[in-house]
Amino acid sequence: MQPTLDELFKEELQDLYDAENQILKALPKMAKAASDEDLASAFQQHLEVTKKQVKRLDKIFQQLGIKPQGKTCEAMQGLLKEGDRIIQEIEKSPVLDAALIGAAQKVEHYEISGYGTVRTLAEVLGQQDAAELLEETLDEEKETDENLTEIAENIMGGATEEDDEDEEEEELEEEEEEA
Ligand code: FE
Ligand code: FE
Ligand code: FE
């Protein structure tokens, strides 16, 4: 049967609820596999943030009067399976850290699209309270994604494109001074 927009909203929320609970189980494993201290603590911190995000969803389900369970997020199963494989196949090293960051950012990007969708659906359906709660989580996921990019840049020697350009400029200036 054709679902209504309201039913779609609820199903998307249940999908995210399942995704978040899968992430709760994966983050301690990722923290353990990380060798960079900042990365390990970023995973630990995101575990705490994720617990709050699950509570936010619980609140929304209560307001809507529906059960949180009901859907399996197969996409998150796949993303986390890739993460597991990375941990099994790569020895603890900066390379593993870089791979873990890549896997984690794929997870964050999935969440950013998921939360963007339900936030907009909540607005369209006039559920302003839910929209605000979902926006809070959306912002946290975006922040986490940016933080991971920063850690990746540090791990890989801070050699971002911008830095390279700056270095090239400095070198040119030095050459000009010498001439
Ligand atoms: Fe999350
Ligand atoms: Fe999903
Ligand atoms: Fe997240």
Question: Does 168 or 134 have the greater pLDDT score?
Answer: 134
What is the residue range of 50's domain? Answer: 5-178
Each residue's pLDDT tens digit, 105-114: 999 999 999 9
How far is ligand 2, taken at its centre, from the CA of residue 158, in Å? 34
How many angstroms does the Cα of residue 19 sit away from the middle of ligand 3? 10
pTM: 0.87
70 — pLDDT class (breaks 50, 70, 90): confident
CATH number of domain containing 83 = 1.20.1260.10
Residue 27 CA to ligand 3 center (angstroms) comes to: 10
User: Using CA atoms, how far apart are residues 101 and 149, in angstroms rounded to an integer?
Assistant: 8
Total domains in the fold of the chain:
1
Q: SS3 of 4, please?
A: coil
* Protein residues placing their CB within 5 Å of the ion ligand 2: 15, 73, 75
Ligand at minimal distance from the CA of 106 is 3
